[in-house]
A and B are shown apart, each in its own frame.
Chain A
Amino acid sequence: MTLRERRLRTAAYWFVLPAALFFILLNAYPLITVLWDSIHFKNLLNKSLSGFSGLSNFKEVIHNEYFAKALWNTVVWTVLSVAGEYAMGLVSAVALNQQVRGRSLFRAIIIIPWVVPIVIAGMTWTWMLTPDYGIINLWLTKLGIIDKPYYWLGELDTALLTVVFVNIWRSFPFYTISLLASLQSVSRDMLEAAAIDGAGVRTRFFRIVMPQLKIVSLTVIFIHVIWTAINFDFIWVMTEGGPLYASETLPIMIYRYAMESYNFGNASALASMMLGFMICGFILYYLFSQRKSRT
């Protein structure tokens, strides 16, 4: 290694040092603590019990009467949100990709929901959905879709679905922008050639455009599956997991274990489990994208 190279290496290490410190102190160390705490007794309210606990934290979490419910809710919440967001994102991206006037204005408007804080989005929709004076209920009754105002966020069967709806509203613009970027790179020549060969609009879309969106779609969906599954803000702000745990998901459960019952051992066990799910998801994504790129 030349002297210059060695000097450059020193410089490079100094450059990454601050970011690496943040990573080690506030990412790696806490992560290891979570794994460590998950197999130890740690309860701020009951300090007498401490030390190695084996898998008892995991057992307690799994035997919690709401665990299965929360797990199921997390799956429903994630799958429906991501599916809805993708559909909305695709439709809006295709519309924005057409040669029409006012495109940039429409694009600007469509991104707005994504920029506002989740809390504000949640609050505004909560107000619009209130049973007594909420605009949505008034519209729906006027249109004759429902007979009388419905408490969307307060009923067992609609609470989670309503939050999913609002989540889709706030998150789909990200898909729009990502998909639009790759739609714009679809070659026009190829589309024209296909048209000359007699391919209709639908064939062109599904045979030429969609295959080119595959990689972006996969990436965006994967990121959002994680972002949605771990999202705490939306559900907490709109329903706090209620009514009667009808919209409780795993992140809300972690919060409850940690900040309401101060049982850090159980909370860590749950967090570790979620980490495990995430790693599984990551491996699946990796295998899937490997196979995709090979074919």
Chain B
Amino acid sequence: MLISRRKQRLLTFITYAVLVGFAFYCLFPFLWMFATSLKPDTEIRTLNPSFFISKPTLKHFDNVLNGSAFITFFKNSVFIAAVTTAASLMISIFAGYALSRFIRFKGVKAFSVAMLLSQMIPGVLLLIPLYLVMKNMNLINTYWSLILAYTTFTVPLCTFMMKGFFDTIPYEMEESAEIDGCSRVGIIFRILLPVSLPSLVATSLFAFLNAWNEFMFGFVFINDEAHRTLTPGVSLFKGLYQTDWGSMMAASVLSVLPIVIIFVFMQRFLIEGMTAGAVKG
């Protein structure tokens, strides 16, 4: 074909070598995290660590689950991420629909520019005023502060993703429904959403991941244990248990777990979403 067979074989070999190298590079920290979380302290503090664990223990997991507020953090994160996902999805379905079908109206056009701009504004620059807004509304140390902040920063991307998906659906489908007397909202829910289910999954995955992984706002807006989310919670373990890496890694395993599960099942959607996001900028 394009190159000689010997060259082809060499190229295949190099490709495999590169891919295996990357796979090792990407996976090793997780394997090490997992191994550490199961090791007793004597095997963690050794100059000859190995993957082989002679006395595996669940002590660190027990310590994290029963001896710390980890479960509270976990529940808070699930709640906040779920509400954020639902809210951003709801908002961006309508906004995305308007951007896709009604861009001819001046107001919608202006709105699309606003969304583009807000996608560019980084959270850290708005940290201070957002903190003050939350403080004035007495929302510091509540779930709502985070839900509002996360929704604000997820909506633009989700809107553009939904717009992209709606763009691929022919308008004729809606027209026939309209003639049959279906309302605009009815058209979205009965005609468009059922055919764009994979895209809805991709969009909600993004919203969920964003909310689950966010650190800065969670760190700044929440100061009490009862409302703290997972990411700042785990980072504060470092201060509490200065050297307890076993528990630290057990907490990390537990916080990565839901994401890995989501990822295994929905990899395809995630990639679709990443590509769409990259193209839209």
A interface, CB within 8 angstroms of B: 8-9, 11-16, 18-20, 22-23, 25-31, 33-34, 37, 91-92, 95-96, 98, 100, 102, 106-113, 115-128, 130, 132-133, 135, 138, 169, 173-174, 177-178, 181, 191-192, 195, 201, 216, 219-220, 222-223, 226-227, 230, 232-233, 236-237, 251, 254-255, 258-259, 264, 267-268, 271, 274-275, 278, 282
A-B CB contacts (within 8 Å), total count: 274
Asked if A30 contacts B126 (CB within 8 A), the reply is yes
Answer yes or no: B240 CB below 8 A from chain A CBs.
no
Measured in the bound complex, the distance between the Cα atoms of B159 and A26 in whole Å is 16
Which of B184-243 touch A at CB < 8 Å? 184, 209, 212-213, 215-216, 219-220, 230-232, 234-235, 238
* Contact residue among A34, A113, A124 (Cβ-Cβ distance under 8 Å from B129): A34
Answer yes or no: B22 CB below 8 A from chain A CBs.
yes
Given contacts A22-B91, A106-B19, A117-B212, contact A226 B122 (CB under 8 A): yes
* Contact residue among B47, B219, B252, B279 (Cβ-Cβ distance under 8 Å from A124): B252
Asked if A223 contacts B235 (CB within 8 A), the reply is no
17 contacts between A and B (CB under 8 A): A19-B92, A19-B155, A27-B118, A28-B114, A109-B27, A111-B267, A117-B215, A119-B231, A120-B255, A120-B256, A123-B235, A124-B252, A127-B36, A133-B49, A220-B278, A255-B220, A271-B127
Measured in the bound complex, the distance between the Cα atoms of B90 and A195 in whole Å is 51
Asked if A15 contacts B94 (CB within 8 A), the reply is yes
Chain B, interface size: which category? 35 or more
Measured in the bound complex, the distance between the Cα atoms of B263 and A22 in whole Å is 29
Measured in the bound complex, the distance between the Cα atoms of B151 and A193 in whole Å is 50
Measured in the bound complex, the distance between the Cα atoms of B278 and A222 in whole Å is 11
Asked if A95 contacts B128 (CB within 8 A), the reply is no
* Contact residue among B120, B130, B256 (Cβ-Cβ distance under 8 Å from A30): B130
Asked if A100 contacts B19 (CB within 8 A), the reply is yes
Asked if B256 contacts A254 (CB within 8 A), the reply is no
**Which residue of chain A is the closest to B90 with respect to CB atoms?**
A18
Q: How far is the CB of B211 from chain A (nearest CB, A)?
A: 11
**Which residue of chain A is the closest to B252 with respect to CB atoms?**
A120
Q: 13 additional contacts, CB 8 Å, given A192-B2, A230-B122?
A: A14-B94, A15-B94, A18-B95, A28-B118, A30-B129, A95-B22, A96-B19, A109-B26, A116-B213, A119-B232, A127-B248, A254-B127, A258-B127
